[in-house]
Chains A and B, each alone.
Chain A
Amino acid sequence: KAGVTQTPRYLIKTRGQQVTLSCSPISGHRSVSWYQQTPGQGLQFLFEYFSETQRNKGNFPGRFSGRQFSNSRSEMNVSTLELGDSALYLCASSSAGSLYNEQFFGPGTRLTVL
């Protein structure tokens, strides 16, 4: 089975721009979660989608948004980029949407905001 894939792997943007990141979960997985990883704050939960519905959302501003498509693929969007948004953005998928189910992480998208 192919793992979680994220595209692009690297991205450079300037302040004020917006960006869209994509995540393809493991085949058959219906839950997709997004996390932001930075050296200072570590891994922080952004949001979780299950069957095209956002079920949970972390403590991030409204500039961070996402969606999930009928094939379970997910995108996250960050508008009006700030320097502090530079981070590794990780996507994780799981089969049934319960945190008891193993979360499989992708390799991440490294976003640099200049």
Chain B
Amino acid sequence: QQQVKQSPQSLIVQKGGISIINCAYENTAFDYFPWYQQFPGKGPALLIAIRPDVSEKKEGRFTISFNKSAKQFSLHIMDSQPGDSATYFCAAALVGGADGLTFGKGTHLIIQP
């Protein structure tokens, strides 16, 4: 299965700071890149998603930056809050393909008050 590499594994950010999580993918055919947020005891929930025809997408405090030539995309959380403390997963998919969502290994984010 095609890989999606996510870094860092864990991240500690001060309240009000910017949290940055990076992902790199291999399959240039991927055409959908969502980010999921997971709290303990819950399933992942879609946070924001991007398609490769745009380089950036912003929703509130959350921004995806996408670099097609480098095969990388990242999640920026502005003005990070303690309630943002969770595990974040990037994913990629070939929408017409047969492999579902391919997930990164996750980043455990802690926002210190």
Task: Report which A residues bind B (CB closer than 8 A).
Answer: 4, 33, 35, 42-45, 48, 55-59, 90, 92, 98-100, 102-108
Contact = CB atoms under 8 A, between A and B. Distances in A.
B99 A92 contact: no
A43 B44 contact: yes
A107 B41 contact: yes
Interface in B83-107: 89, 91, 93, 95, 97-106
B100 A90 contact: no
A30 to B, nearest CB: 16
B104 to A, nearest CB: 7
Interface of B: 1, 32, 34, 36, 41-46, 49, 89, 91, 93, 95, 97-106
A99 B43 contact: no
B83 to A, nearest CB: 19
Contact of A103 (B42, B97, B99, B101): B101
A39 B80 CA distance: 25
Contacts of A107: 41-43
A107 B104 CA distance: 19
Contact of B98 (A57, A98, A100, A105): A57
Contacts of B98: 55-57
Nearest to B46: A102
Contacts of A56: 97-100
